Amino acid sequence: MAQEVSEPENNPPGEGKTLNRKILSLAVPSLGSLLAEPLMVVADSAMIGHVGTTELAGLTLASSIDVFIVGLCIFLVYTTTAVASRQLGAGDRRGAVKTGVDGAWLGLLVGMVIAVVLAVGAAPIVGLFGASPAVTFQGAAYLRAAAPSMVGMMLVLAGTGAMRGQLDARTPLVISLTGAIANVALNAALIFGAGLGVTGAGLGTSLASLGMGVAFGVKIIKGALGTRVSLRPEFWAIFGALKGGIPLMIRTLTMQIVILATLWVAASQGEVEVAGRQIAATTWTIAANLHDAIAIATQALIGFELGRADRPAVRALIKRTSAWGIGLGIILGLVIAGTSLWWPWVFTSDPAVLEAATLALAVSAVFQPLAGIVFVFDGILIGANDSWYLALAGLVNLAVYVPALVAVWRFAGSGATGLAWLWGCYCGVFFLARLATLGRRIRQDTWMRLT
């Protein structure tokens, strides 16, 4: 890790390598670590989908709860990245390392609390979706078995933020890909070999996540020892990080409410729509992580440039990453459209689910360029730690989306067409609202607080 930390001082952004190469040097390894989690979901969904439609629907509900919680705690990544990269840009390497240590302690404490809550309340939590008793039973079984994974995942989030803040994208890549491979092997053995079904999927996820969390913890400890930074928890700093994460929690909460509300409407349409939505959502998540790789590079470089107080470099970075976002969106749209007829077969052979998923994937393809620019804009403001505006924008976006979602729920009906309207509402209305609120802020200079 010491090597990655020292590079920015010798080769700061704006000198040496071209801007494109600097973006790629962070985006490409970040992509690998980002894809690890959705690929774990793909593996779970593909395996469980061939066990049965009811089991797949249950996994969909339970895994959505896990995604909701992890998303709510994403401030462990974003806050640590923004603060550490700015400290690094200002020449305070030890401060950047200490930020990662405090973030890891916070992640450990938060993960332990969440794990207990999920283990104890699995059945009533899944029951909130109002699905059939059979689907609820399967979902609760998965959620209960996967509860310990939250300890590992919170350490993964904190560790990822610590590494990215030091412009080290390689460590998250190695750990995340290793964990994803282990998860696939464990799930295959537990789901089919041991015959545990969705419980096996949850246990496999827990074991893999805990292993990843331990790996990040070891890396943080080595980095602290190498820079002579104390490993003792400083509770004032931990509390400050938690307090500083409140606006990002609000922002993420609004986004997760949108996702869960969309899932609730799908659940009201029926099991086929829930299963079809899972295929479309899993595919969207994979594409979103490709977009997020560019956004992560933007976060780290924006924070670094703001630490160097280089306003022209910030504006040049915005222009270049925006072009990358739109271009990637066009490519992904073409790929999703071209694979929409055969990709759903990876998850199911149910004709009704195949029809619903194929149409939803076509909708996803249309809105990929929009998603690309939205992710970049999001990364810009996260890297600048403009968290309270992001919270306000999230509330505005939610207020715009809910009436549109209610209209879909009331008038779109069920079946493949109903799911297409629902998915179009999410990809179109919600992301257009995000584009408007984020774009308005970026056109101004008030978020550009230089140190």
How far is residue 179's CA from residue 40's CA, in Å, rounded to a whole number? 9
pLDDT at 89: 67
pLDDT at 5: 36
Return the amino acid letter for 290. L
How far is residue 1's CA from residue 161's CA, in Å, rounded to a whole number? 13
- Residues of the chain short of pLDDT 50, as ranges, are 1-16
pLDDT at 91: 66
How far is residue 275's CA from residue 227's CA, in Å, rounded to a whole number? 49
pLDDT at 240: 64
DSSP 158-208: HHHHHHHHTT--HHHHHHHHHHHHHHHHHHHIIIIIS--HHHHHHHHHHHH
Three-state SS at 124:
helix
Q: Backbone dihedral region of 157: left (phi > 0), alpha (psi from -120 to 50 degrees) or beta?
A: alpha
Convert the pLDDT of each residue in 385-396 to its tens digit: 788 899 999 999
Judge whether 86 and 451 are in contact, CB under 8 Å: yes
pLDDT at 34: 62
Convert the pLDDT of each residue in 197-247 to its tens digit: 888 888 888 999 899 999 998 988 888 888 887 787 776 666 666 666 788
Task: Tell me the backbone φ, ψ of residue 131, rounded to 5 degrees.
Answer: -75, 180
Return the amino acid letter for 137. F
> Tokens in use for 36?
């690890």
Integer CA distances (angstroms), 282 to 31, 63, 187, 217, 321, in order = 16, 11, 18, 29, 25
> Tokens in use for 201?
């999927």
Judge whether 157 and 74 are in contact, CB under 8 Å: yes
Return the amino acid letter for 312. P
DSSP 55-115: HHHHHHHHHHHHHHHHHHTTHHHHHHHHHHHHHHHTT-HHHHHHHHHHHHHHHHHHHHHHH
